[in-house]
Amino acid sequence: MDLIKQQNRRILLADDEAKILDELLQILHPKRQNKEELNELENRLFGNPDPQKKAVISYDVCCCQQGDEAVRQVQKAIEQEKPFAVAFLDVRMPPGPDGVATAEQIRKLDSNIQIVIMTGYSDFDVREIAKRVPPEDKLLYLQKPVHAQEITQFALALTAKWQSDYLLHQQNQILKEKNHSLVENINHRKQLEKKLMCAAEEWRTTFDSIKDPISMQDKDFKIVRVNKAFAEVFNTPPAEIVNKHCYELVHGAKSPPPFCPHKQIFDTGRSCHKEYFEPHLGIYLELSVSPVFDEANQVVASVHVFKDITERKQLENSLLRAKELAEEMNQAKSQFLANMSHEIRTPMNSIIGFSDLLADEELAEEQKDYVGMISNNGKHLLELINDILDFSKIEAKKLDIEIIEYLLEDIFSKIKSLVALKAKEKGLEFDIHICKDMPTHIFTDPTRLTQCLVNLINNAIKFTEEGHVFLDISFENRDGRDYIRFDVEDTGIGIPQDKQEKIFESFTQADGSTTRKFGGTGLGLTITKKLVELLGGQISVSSQENKGSVFSIVLPIKPQSSGGISEQKVESLKTS
């Protein structure tokens, strides 16, 4: 039932006498003929000129003869959402509960219903009834016998009052709900404000606790916020820094500098990072600048974070000067070694030459042994001097590489003449294997290539007691470019896996005992690696202990056309 748009005319009658109930029902819910008679009677009594404008009101009436039945009807009406507006209750309804007790129960079920107590006796105290059935403004009394006009007036007035009370109650409920919602919104807003204040305070504390100076600048280059560290750099309170132009404060200028990162941020919308010396402050700065965007994704400000990196820059400059000095000293050392090696090599060649001349003379066997020892040791010493000379030239960047077109067969013949006898003396098989379709010429420095291959073969012979030493030459094509591959294979002592990378380092051999047993400076492989790289190639090794090793050199057959080396013309390439 829509109780707001339609007036509630539901009335509950409770009386133990059926005749009284019938009379009340006729008054409140008359039949059509009775309605017309009543209307005519009322028109005559009150002089209503237009009978059609005045009609007897009919109510929706529910009749009960006992109080407990009346309580059940009220309960049912509430469950069906069709509450009674008025209840007329007889004060005595034997054998069940009386009207007052019934009214108490009804009031507990429905706080809005208008209750009328009908009584013909005076043994009930009105004040006691009012106390038991509150509130008083919804409790009335009728003295029996009742008149029809009293009943109709009570019904009309009380249903109207119920409607008014109900509407008022509904409005109050709406107001309560709105008030409750408003209170909740206010409390929620206060909580949000409190959280916002706490977050703002935490942000300010965090902002000021950052050791790096931070500032925010608007599009007009004005500083809008700084942290404590920034203010300390300029020894000025933050409030006095705000609204100053950044270029005036930081650069001591009247306009932004050409490299201004703030202007760059507004031009590009991207973060930037700079390191520079700020003459106005006399320090080196590392500066990071990030854009701040609005809702329309437009840059409205920028955040600047900088560090004083003066100490770091001074250290870097010191390290750079130390590095340059060390390089100069290293070059001086290499130059000294080169000069000394050259000076030592000249008399050493004389010693070897004269010992060879003495060997051709008629000498006793013991004398020949002495001369042979002089010659062998001199040659060994000369090899060491040559290694040191080459190494010092490479370190000093004074070694020349001459790339020419050269016949491969001449290189192989020279290698064979230099190493075949040593292999034979140790009882080793030596051979050179060349694959089919090998080019006849190569663009390289033949002297340095021969030196590299001879170094590797001599090493293989030195560390091989039995078996063979082979030089295998093959052809490769990588990414459309032709290469030649040289593999020096032996059946020697091999190299441990963890030592294979180290053997190309200066003055390094696979094992300390190797130096004592086989001799050498540990420069041969280092020189070979550097020479191969200067020739534009690569060197690598694969080895197994006690089974042998394979050292591989891969060189381009022709130089790249973009390298500036002619295929027909000799060029001098310096390592520098």
Which tens digit of pLDDT belongs to each residue from 246-275?
A: 888 888 888 888 888 888 888 888 888 888
Geometric angle at alpha carbon 157, from 156 and 160, rounded to 5°:
85
pLDDT of residue 506: 67
Q: What is the pLDDT of residue 100?
A: 93
Give the phi and the psi of residue 39 in degrees, each rounded to 5: -65, -40
Kindly indicate the confidence band of residue 210, based on its pLDDT and cuts at 50, 70 and 90.
Answer: confident
CATH 1.10.287.130 in the chain: give the residue spans: 314-391
Residue 300 CA, distance from chain mean position: 25
| Domain ranges in the chain with CATH number 3.30.450.20 | 210-308
Q: What was the pLDDT predicted at 436?
A: 84
CATH topology of domain 314-391: Helix Hairpins (1.10.287)
Enumerate the CATH 3.30.565.10 domain ranges in the chain, comma separated: 400-574
Q: Which CATH superfamily is domain 10-173 in?
A: Response regulator (3.40.50.2300)
Torsion angle of C-alpha atoms 259, 262, 267, 269, degrees rounded to 10: 130
CATH topology of domain 210-308: Beta-Lactamase (3.30.450)
Report how far residue 13's alpha carbon sits from residue 109's, in angstroms, rounded to the nearest whole number: 17
Q: Which residue intervals of 210-284 are DSSP H helices?
A: 228-233, 238-241, 246-250, 261-268
d(CA 228, CA 241): 11
CATH classification (class only), 400-574: alpha beta
Phi, psi (degrees; rounded to nearest 5) at 121: -120, 165
Residue 562: the pLDDT is: 38
Res. 571 pLDDT band, cuts 50 70 90: very low
- Asked whether residue 185 carries a pLDDT value surpassing 70, the answer given is yes
The pLDDT of residue 381 is above 80: no
Higher pLDDT, 5 or 120: 120
* Other beta carbons within 10 Å of 424: 12
> Residue 35 — pLDDT band, cuts 50, 70, 90?
low
